[in-house]
Amino acid sequence: MDLSWGDEKTVQFITNVGLITSKGKYGDNIMAAEWTHHISYKPGLIAVCIGHNKATAENIKKTKVFGISLASTEQSTLASVSGGSSGKEIDKIKALEELDFKFYKAKKINVLMVQDAVLNMECRLIKKIPLGDHTVFVGEILEALLNKEKTPIAYHQLKYGTVSFNMQKPSDQERQKIKDIIEKHRKKGNENL
């Protein structure tokens, strides 16, 4: 079964907006990727899923480095421009600079990073995995810069928004009941796990 982009099933996921920066034969480039995932603490690893023939995919395969900036709520226009055209046809960095967005040179790799993003990570490619119509690029984080004053964009149902934390956690009494039920159903021989 295929699940198409924009299908009512695929838009149920809530994701961030990763701004993937790279450099290659088309110059400095940026793209928006909703499939950007933190996948390991030690070492710090990030996975990003990119269409096989995208300029960014070509750049990463050749240079073995890329940047990931998590877009802030003030960067919805930046995210839309980054995801709305191909770096093979448009100099998106120049267009974004004309729209007053700023970039800076990464410390450890030869790519630009997005100024005022929530989190900027400089990555070295350690693995690429072709899966379906995308390639998963796994990068080891070499440098990370957090901007605590910014809030990340959430992407859901083809719209930008923010995550709100207005649901209550279970009460202490409910948590104790859950713990008691879980213990009641512990499998024999696994008491020390």
Q: What is the mean pLDDT of residues 50-63?
A: 95
In angstroms, the CA 162 to CA 43 distance is: 29
Is 42's pLDDT higher than 80?
Answer: yes
Q: What percent of the chain has pLDDT over 90?
A: 72
The pLDDT of residue 46 is: 97
At 92-110, the pLDDT tens digits run 999 999 999 999 999 999 9
Task: Give how far Cα 25 sits from Cα of 61, 62, 78, 117, 188, Å.
Answer: 12, 10, 22, 25, 60
Residue 76 CB contacts under 8 Å (≥ 6 apart), including other chains: 153, 160
Mean pLDDT of the chain: 92
Q: What is the pTM of this model?
A: 0.87
Per-residue pLDDT band at 3 (split at 50, 70, 90): confident
At 5-29, the pLDDT tens digits run 777 887 877 889 999 999 999 899 9
Task: Give how far Cα 78 sits from Cα of 42, 126, 176, Å.
Answer: 31, 28, 46
Tokens 């990068």 belong to residue = 139
Which long-range contacts (C-beta less than 8 Å, at least 24 apart) are formed by 85-93? 86/54, 86/55, 87/26, 87/27, 87/29, 87/30, 87/31, 87/54, 87/55, 87/56, 88/26, 88/55, 91/27, 92/29, 92/30, 92/31, 93/27, 93/28, 93/29, 93/30
The pLDDT of residue 191 is: 62
Task: Give how far Cα 85 sits from Cα of 40, 51, 151, 178, Å.
Answer: 31, 13, 25, 49
Per-residue pLDDT band at 143 (split at 50, 70, 90): very high
Per-residue pLDDT band at 137 (split at 50, 70, 90): very high
Please list the residues that pair with 131 across neighbouring strands: 134
At 59-96, the pLDDT tens digits run 999 999 999 999 999 999 999 999 988 989 999 999 99
